[in-house]
Amino acid sequence: MNRETDKNEQVPKAMEITSPRTAEQPGPQIPKTGTQYEAGHGPNDGHDHGDDDHDHDETASYVPTIISLVLLLGGILLDYLDVPWFTTYVRLAVYGIAYLLVGGKVVWHALRNITKGNVFNEFFLMSMATIGAFYIGEYAEGVAVMLFYVIGEHFQEAAVARSRKSIKDLIDNRPEIVTVLRNGQATEVKPQQVSIGDTIQIKAGEKVALDGEILSEQSSFNTAALTGESKPDTKSKGEKVLAGMINLDKVIDIKVTSAYEDSALSKILKLVEDAGSRKAKTQQFITRFAKIYTPIVVFAALGLALLPYFFVADYVFNDWLYRALIFLVISCPCALVISVPLGYFGGIGAASRNGILFKGSNFLDLITTVDTIVMDKTGTLTEGVFKVQEIKTYGLPETELVALTAALESKSSHPVAQAVVQHAGDSYKHLTVSEVEEISGHGLKGTVDGKSVMAGNGKMMHKFHISYDPEIDAIVDTIVMVAIENQFAGYITIADKIKDDAPETVRQLHALGITNITMLSGDKDSIVQQVAASLKIDKAYGGLLPQDKVSKVEELKQQGRTVAFVGDGINDAPVITLADVGLAMGAMGSDAAIETADVVIQNDQPSKIATAIHIGKATKQIVWQNIGLAFGVKLLVMAFGAFGVATMWEAVFADVGVAFLAILNAIRIQRMNFGKKD
């Protein structure tokens, strides 16, 4: 699917055979303009087939189907009235035209597939059954089978188009024109023509078209398109603003930091559109099953037509051929190979509307099997917005300690470092900083105005043999210890806040049967244990280095547990990759999150973890409902057909009717409400 395609591009005007049923990777897609796929070039063959929505001109694609339906109903009426002239060639011509209008391309694709060695597929089954019906004189039934098959195709296309449109309308309605300020003049151009570093102007009520950094003092934004939450988010000068956000307050200026195709929203859209390529195990099973199942039913039908000759006294070939044709029609695995991928696609769409992005349907399945959830603390369960609480100095003024520490910490993007910098204001900006070294899991060291300065945790002080009062380790809050010229100079305490929905998140996860919720953090253990106790988390470990987190997750996996890890997607990238399911929290603009996580939660609400599991469970339930429905009805009608009880009309229902019901059931997930549940 190509999001940069012209908005006015339309789907084919002529009816296309768009079934994913014989493709290498079955999955619902909309064919690209002018494309009529051949054998091996189905909708999900790995090529881009477009996703543009149908408009009013699409009715042209229904014209052959409508004409065929009229001819079929007219023929049945003339047969019923026993009109004298409606016999032999006239009757064959009417039904033949009705058949070719809907079945011509099906037969053609069957023949093309045969020449390429792909014999046993749905096109072959439908062609054999309907041509056989014509052979024995059951013209109306032959047309009806093909007609209802094509009607089922129309319903399938409409269902997929509606699902895609609901996702696209939700998050991809970026403005087509953006105002750029160049040489003091405001110029309207397309977003694709804006360069990195340009300044764009966003009026109140307008949607941001490109990622950037806010140049104005402050404004509030509706971030619902990205996060699923309508609560306004206030951004101040220098903060990042993402494409898809709506400016609520006043006219603002934004400095563009990403090209149109590299914006966070473009990456999110790419993630959603690619999600169908990673299939769940159920989906993979259905694909393999169809390849084995189809030749079996073809030979079974052949046996049903010929073997009774040796066992039945009053054997009539046409009677047994009719039963075999019914068997063939029923055997088409339509409902299975349409509704299963469509069900997963619906689940991915439902998750997108809730601000959760699954990178593949396989993760929708896998998240339902998780029994252990491991979470980072800062930014996942806590706000990650730190504020200085207390400053304690030894032998030098407080202002000097703060200035020297802030100057060093200004070279780090860590939330704790930023808290010190924010508290210091402009007091450090006249100082020169050099030779800065970041020691992972410890802190920073460098030279500030010619003085050696270290800022970090207790491990940092121990590493460089700097002694301090051991009672400082008992302080619960996050603490930044400062050493100047290899002498302990003081400390700064910083506190974080637990997110509002964190307690509810833990409760919901326990209610879902998650037996082990573990928190891992690089923060000091006393803080970690305090947070864990207040949230009723099962286990918690503090003072961990990045490699320690990896070791903890490896231990859990060695115990046979299915582990989901939730982190910020940057520092925790190795653990996210290691876990069975990796979730990135609040990582809309993070390349690391999008690249390493299996599931991206677009806001900072940990409660979305439980929502993701609910959506996975609902999707799996619908998929198995469809499998049960398809198998149950088909086996029943197959048995009736083999004993001569069912007619071709019942076969049509068992094939197309059940497929239609399965499609309706699959798209039902899009209308489900995944709010807070017990």
CATH number at residue 188: 2.70.150.10
Please give the average per-residue pLDDT across 566-584, as a whole number: 79
Q: Is residue 561 part of a domain?
A: no
Q: Which of the four pLDDT bands, split at 50, 70 and 90, describes residue 274?
A: low
Tokens of 236: 């101040």
Please give the tally of structural domains in the chain.
3
Report the DSSP beta bridge partners of residue 200. 180, 254
Nearest to 290, CA basis, from 23, 519, 605: 23
Residues 167 and 182 in one domain: no
Please give the average per-residue pLDDT across 168-177, as a whole number: 65
Q: pLDDT digit string (tens) for 504-535?
A: 999 999 999 898 999 998 777 888 898 899 89
Q: Is residue 443 part of a domain?
A: yes
Q: Which of the four pLDDT bands, split at 50, 70 and 90, describes residue 491?
A: very high
Tokens of 599: 């599931």
Q: Which amino acid is at 336?
A: L
Tokens of 271: 């993630």
Select which of 211, 233, 365, 376 is catalytic.
376
β 539-541/516-520 pair status? parallel
Q: Is 417 left (phi over 0), alpha (psi -120 to 50) or beta?
A: alpha
Task: Examine the pLDDT at 40 and tell me if it is beyond 50.
Answer: no
**Residue 376 annotated to the active site:** yes
CB–CB of 278/240 below 8 Å? no
H/E element, 666 = helix 658-667
Q: Which residue has the higher pLDDT, 571 or 228?
A: 571
CB atoms closer than 10 angstroms to residue 503: 16
> What pLDDT score was predicted for residue 325?
78
Q: Is residue 119 part of a domain?
A: yes
User: Which of 471, 497, 523 is where one domain is finished?
Assistant: 497
Q: What is the mean pLDDT of the chain?
A: 78
Q: Is residue 659 part of a domain?
A: no
Q: Which of the four pLDDT bands, split at 50, 70 and 90, describes residue 38?
A: very low
Residues 126 and 160 in one domain: yes
Q: Which residue has the higher pLDDT, 178 or 288?
A: 178
CB atoms closer than 10 angstroms to residue 306: 14
Residues 95 and 163 in one domain: yes
Helices (H), 472-570: 502-511, 525-535, 546-558
71 phi and psi, to 5 degrees?
Answer: -65, -40
Pick the range with the lowest mean pLDDT from 49-53, 465-469, 613-617.
49-53
> What pLDDT score was predicted for residue 12?
32
Nearest to 510, CA basis, from 540, 539, 541, 537: 537
Q: Which of the four pLDDT bands, split at 50, 70 and 90, describes residue 239?
A: confident
Q: Is residue 587 part of a domain?
A: no
Q: Is residue 87 part of a domain?
A: yes
Q: Which of the four pLDDT bands, split at 50, 70 and 90, describes residue 594?
A: low
Report the DSSP beta bridge partners of residue 189. 178
CB–CB of 556/364 below 8 Å? no
What b/e string do you get for 523-552 counting C-beta neighbours within 10 Å, with b at 16 or more? bbebbbbbbbeebebbebbbbbeeeebbeb
Q: pLDDT digit string (tens) for 82-97?
A: 888 888 888 999 999 9
Q: Is residue 71 part of a domain?
A: yes
> Where is mean pLDDT largest: 6-20, 24-38, 176-190, 632-646?
176-190
CATH number, domain of 443, equals: 3.40.1110.10
Task: Examine the pLDDT at 615 and tell me if it is beyond 70.
Answer: yes
Q: Which residue has the higher pLDDT, 293 or 614?
A: 614
Q: pLDDT digit string (tens) for 663-674?
A: 788 778 877 887
Helices (H), 82-190: 88-115, 122-135, 139-171
Handedness of CA 202, 203, 205, 206 (dihedral sign): negative
Please give the average per-residue pLDDT across 246-271, as a whole number: 80
Distance (Å, whole) CA 403 – CA 130: 85
CB–CB of 462/483 below 8 Å? no
Sequence-distant (≥ 6) Cβ neighbours of residue 631 within 8 angstroms: 336
Distance (Å, whole) CA 461 – CA 637: 77
Q: Which residue has the higher pLDDT, 589 or 328?
A: 328
User: Which of 139, 171, 203 is where one domain is finished?
Assistant: 171
> What pLDDT score was predicted for residue 36?
32
Q: Which residue has the higher pLDDT, 108 or 224?
A: 108
Q: Which of the four pLDDT bands, split at 50, 70 and 90, describes residue 386?
A: confident
Please give the average per-residue pLDDT across 192-218, as a whole number: 89
Sequence-distant (≥ 6) Cβ neighbours of residue 313 within 8 angstroms: none
Distance (Å, whole) CA 23 – CA 31: 13
Residues 189 and 143 in one domain: no
Nearest to 209, CA basis, from 219, 217, 201: 201
Q: Which amino acid is at 428?
A: Y
Task: Examine the pLDDT at 678 and tell me if it is beyond 80.
Answer: no
Is this structure's pTM higher than 0.75? no
Please give the average per-residue pLDDT across 215-237, as a whole number: 74
Residues 164 and 186 in one domain: no
Residues 228 and 243 in one domain: yes
Distance (Å, whole) CA 431 – CA 249: 37
Q: Which amino acid is at 384?
A: G
Task: Examine the pLDDT at 326 and tell me if it is beyond 80.
Answer: no
Residues 206 and 151 in one domain: no
Q: pLDDT digit string (tens) for 404-463?
A: 999 998 888 777 888 899 899 888 988 989 998 888 778 899 999 899 999 998 889 999
Q: Is residue 91 part of a domain?
A: yes
Residues 151 and 253 in one domain: no
CB–CB of 216/237 below 8 Å? yes
Nearest to 636, CA basis, from 626, 623, 646: 646
Q: pLDDT digit string (tens) for 334-366?
A: 666 666 777 887 888 788 878 888 887 788 888
User: Which of 473, 497, 521 is where one domain is finished?
Assistant: 497
Residues 140 and 221 in one domain: no
> What pLDDT score was predicted for residue 403?
93
Residues 211 and 245 in one domain: yes
Residues 481 and 395 in one domain: yes
Residues 194 and 97 in one domain: no
List the domain range (segments joined by +) for residue 254.
Answer: 178-270
> What pLDDT score was predicted for residue 22?
33
Q: Which of the four pLDDT bands, split at 50, 70 and 90, describes residue 23?
A: very low
Q: Which of the four pLDDT bands, split at 50, 70 and 90, describes residue 29?
A: very low
